[in-house]
Structures are given as structure tokens and as C-alpha cells.
Amino acid sequence: MFAADPEAEADSGVPVHVAARRTHLRSVEWVSGTGEHVAEVIDLAVPGDGGPVPIRIYRPQGARPGALMYLHGGGWVVGGIESFDAACRALANRCRLPVVSVDYRLAPEHPFPAAISDCVAVAEWISSGGGELHGVRGPLVVAGDSAGGHLASLVAFAARDGGGSPSIEALVLVYPIIDATMSSESFRRYANGYFLTADTMRWYWSSFLGARYGSVDSDFSPAHRTDVSGLPRTLVITAEHDVLRDEGEAWAARLGEAGVDVTLHRFPGMIHGFFRFDRVCSAAGEAYDLIGRFASERPRATSARARAMSRLAGRVYLERGKPVSVLLSWTGKGPRNVLIRRADGTEVVRPFRGLRRPPEAVTAPEDVTGIDTDGRAPS
């Protein structure tokens, strides 16, 4: 559908980022539609260090106490309130929370840290009661997809390092951008042919960082933070055929190891961007439902369990007598879940129950790489 865009040729005479924004906005009709009805929609502006930050508030019928701040995707270059309108309407209804969509400044005109500054300003405005006249009040859930997931992570770090201000109850990261090195296996495996390409991601990073592109700093690359403890409970959603898949799943594992209450859900068969493709993809609605359930849950005291489960990752176990690699493990309401890789290279998500500790002499086959083969059981 994108490739057949009849207006794409007319955009060829403008800067690349301008053409990309036009295509992104035109795509709303194709992939998102008009969205669901909500009780009230309010457009406002919140004071920020770089000037007023536009926001849109979606209030559902029968809203419960709390709020969800949504940070849109688009590689920090494209996207905005209008192109994520349908997704925010759906989230408001599923979560039964007012949703505050943030129209943060975009690159390359406004490189890092402009976007994060705007997002922190809106989070502080909500947390301090600035939105109470419009039915927006804590506890606050911060959510975002792709670049928005990246910004949501940085907002959470700013809150943690600022002594809990703004106050954030939970995070939702939908196929988040986490690692500026772009060095994961999925980045190579899905570099072309799956909507978001590796070259496009490099262009996004270069536009966002400007003169700092090529460097790696924990200020903008969450994967390079030395301490990830103390973050709020987190839901990480990934897509199977996405260059960002592995860095999102590695982030979930690292949060669990640090004692964060984390839940990971991979959507099989999906590509990057599916979250706003509600008109053409049923998985988008499933993701909205998943976030709605997560947002309504009470925090669980599972830090010790999260740490214990994360220690399963990197071990070799036996599945029906054959060695498999446990790549990732995470918490959840049901049995402990693991992502395993079999000898033929296929990966599958399944409960840990049924896997067995191998004898000392058993090691994984050579084509199962990057794993610990010493046969020890987890603590």
C-alpha cells in the first residue's frame, strides 16, 4: 500500500523528512481509519523549556482515576497527534483512562534532547495536577511505540533520577528503540523487506542525534545505562519480523534481571508499525486489549521472582531430549515463559515447564550459538 502511494512522486522535490511526514499522514486513512468514539477530545498546550507543547486529551466514557501519557512513534522525525489519533482513542477505551497524546518537537529541526524535554514537561504537568480540570490526574502510565518507546524509557529514567518526580506507575514499550549501536541479530535478519529497514533506522538516528550521530551515550541509548533498577513495572511488546525485536526483548530481560516487574509479549508474524494498523491488522486490537489489561493491574511484588527467572536466559536445557537454548525469560501471570531456540534455528515461546536440565556431558549443537553450555541449573 505504501509502495503504491499515488502521491509519492509529487513529494520527490521536497526534503526527505518532509516527504516522509506527508506519506506518514496520508497513510492514516489506509491503515488506521477514523478510530473509535470517546466521550471527549480536548486540545491544549503545556509549558515546556522550548515553548508550548501541544497535547490532545482523550477522555473515555466512565474513565477511572489515573492517566496514560502516549508518546507516538515515527523515528523522532515523522508522526504526531493526528497520525496516532485512532490508536489513542482505542487505548482510552481499553484502559478506561484519559489518554494524553504529546506532540513533541521533531528532528531534524529539533534534535536530541528537544523531544525528551517536551515529554518530561508534559509528564511533570500531569503529575503535578496541571490536568485535573480536564479529568487528568495520577497515577500515570507512560506508553509509547518505537521512538515513543525510547522517549518513554528516558522519561522513566528522568523520574527515577529526579527522586520520583514525575510520578510514574507503569511503562508500556511497544517495539521500542533501545540501542543506538543497531547491532542486534534481528537488525541484520530483517534489514530489508519488512517495512522498517535498517537504512531507515540509521537515517532516523542520524536525524535525531545530529552532530552526535556515530557516538553512543547512555543519555540517548538506554541499552548503555549502567543501572536500570528502580523503574516502574513494564510491559514490552515486540513484533517478530522487526529490526528492533531483539533489542526490545533484550531490554525486557535486563529489566527483569534488575528486579523490575516486567512482562514481555511478542506478536508472531507481525512487522514494525502494526500497532497503528488497526484497519488492516487484527493484532493491533489485540495489543490494545493487552495494554488495557496491563494498565488495570495492580503492581505486583515480584522483584525476586523476576531476578530468578532472568537467570534462566543463556542456559542450555533439554526439550524432548534435544538441547535447546533459553534465549530469554520473563514474568507473567501464568507459568514462567521462555523464548527458546532449537538446533534448526527456529524460535518458539513456551512455558519453562517441560524443559529439563541436561547431564554434564550434554552441550548444545554448534549451530546454537552465543549461549552458556556448562550445564548448570539456575539458582
Span of 166-170, 209-213, 294-298, 333-337 with lowest mean pLDDT: 333-337
Interhelix angle 303-310/245-257, rounded to 10 degrees, is 120
Q: What is the mean pLDDT of residues 325-351?
A: 69
Question: Which of 83, 71, 72 shows the shortest CA–CA distance to 21?
Answer: 83
> Residue 101 in contact with residue 70, Cβ under 8 Å?
yes
What pLDDT sits at residue 313? 58
* pLDDT band (50, 70, 90) for residue 378: very low
Q: What is the DSSP letter of 231?
A: P
How far apart CA 115 and CA 121 sit, in angstroms, is 10
Instruction: For residue range 236-289, list pLDDT tens digits in order.
Output: 999 999 999 999 999 998 888 888 888 888 998 999 999 999 988 899 999 999
- Tens digits of per-residue pLDDT, 290-333? 999 999 886 655 444 444 445 555 677 888 778 887 776 655 44
Q: What is the pLDDT of residue 23?
A: 86
Query: Which of 41-55, 137-151, 185-199, 320-334 is predicted least confidently?
Result: 320-334
**Which tens digit of pLDDT belongs to each residue from 43-98?**
999 999 999 999 999 999 999 999 999 999 999 999 999 999 999 999 999 999 99
Q: Which residues contact 343 (CB under 8 A, 6 or more apart)?
A: 322, 323, 324, 364, 365, 367, 368
Indicate whether 2 pLDDT > 90.
no
Confidence check: pLDDT of 373 > 80: no
d(CA 89, CA 94) in angstroms, rounded, equals 9
Split at pLDDT 50, 70, 90, the class of 8 is low
Lowest mean pLDDT among 11-20, 200-209, 348-357: 348-357
CB 53 within 8 A of CB 121: yes
> Could you tell me which of 69, 78, 125 has the C-alpha nearest to residue 102?
69
DSSP strand E in the chain: where?
40-46, 53-59, 67-71, 99-102, 140-145, 170-174, 233-241, 262-271, 316-319, 322-330, 337-341, 347-351
Q: Which residues are catalytic?
A: 146, 242, 272
11-21 average pLDDT score:
84
Is residue 371 pLDDT above 70, yes or no?
no
- Taking the CB of residue 73, how many other CB atoms lie within 10 A of it? 28
CB 58 within 8 A of CB 89: yes
Q: For residues 24-51, give the mean pLDDT.
A: 91
H-helix segments, 32-113: 85-95
pTM of the model: 0.82
pLDDT recorded at residue 356: 77
Model confidence at 358, pLDDT cuts 50, 70, 90, reads: confident
C-alpha cell at 183: 547491532
Determine how many CB atoms are found less than 10 A away from the CB of residue 162.
Answer: 11
Residue 105 pLDDT greater than 70, yes or no: yes
Residue 237, burial from CB neighbour count under 10 angstroms (0-12, 13-18, 19+): buried
pLDDT in the model for residue 362: 46
